Amino acid sequence: MAVIREQDIDKGRDAWRRWADAARAQRDAGTDALDVRPDLPRPMWAMAVRYTLHLLERKAPGPGVEVRVAPWGAVKILDGPESDPHNLTPPDVVELDPDVWLRVAAGITAWDDERDAGRIGAIGERDDLGWLLPL
C-alpha cells in the first residue's frame, strides 16, 4: 500500500516545502538543530512525513529495510532479504519520530547526530540511512 495517495502528492510537496522553510527559519533564528520543531498544524506534519517517505521509497526501492515514522507512515526500501512470510517484518527496521525524520530528510541535522543523540531506533545490519539523506 502506498504511503501517500496519488491525488495528495501536490499537497505533500507543499507541506514538505512549508515544513522545511519553517525549520530552516527556526534554525537560522538560533534554535539548536536537534531541537528544531516548527509549530505547524498536525495535518501538515502528516503530509510532509508521507511525502518524504514516498520520496525515500522512490529513491531506494526494495523490500529489505522498513522505515517507520509513526503514526503517519512506513515504507520498505533497499534490496535485501524480504520480510519473513509469517510476521511480515523485514530483518532491518528503522524507527523515527516525525520531527527526527523530517530534520534528517531536510538536512537540518545529520543521521549520525540524531543517532548519537539516541533519537533513532534501529534493528539490523543496515541501520545507517545517512547516505540516502537529505532528500
Please report, for the chain, the start and end positions of each structural domain, with discontinuous segments joined by +.
6-132
Mean pLDDT of all residues in 113-135: 91
Confidence of residue 73 (pLDDT cuts 50, 70, 90): very high
3.40.50.170, 3.30.1050.40, 3.30.930.10, 3.30.1490.20: CATH of 6-132:
3.30.1050.40
- State the angle between helix axes of 98-106 and 9-28 in degrees (0 to 180), rounded to the nearest 10: 80
Average predicted confidence (pLDDT) for the chain: 92
23-72 pLDDT, tens digit per residue, is 999 999 999 999 999 999 999 999 999 999 999 999 999 988 999 999 99
Q: Evaluate if residue 90 carries a pLDDT over 70.
A: no
Q: How open is the CA angle 70-27-11, to the nearest 5 degrees?
A: 50
- Helix or strand run (H / E) with residue 67: strand 61-69
Q: Evaluate if residue 86 carries a pLDDT over 70.
A: no
Report the pLDDT value the prediction gives residue 83, as an integer from 0 to 100.
Answer: 58
Residues 6+ apart with CB under 8 A from 127: 92, 94, 120
Q: Which residue has the higher pLDDT, 69 or 83?
A: 69
Q: Evaluate if residue 128 carries a pLDDT over 80.
A: yes
Total-model pTM: 0.93
Among the listed residues 94, 135, 113, 112, the one whose alpha carbon sits nearest the alpha carbon of residue 33: 113
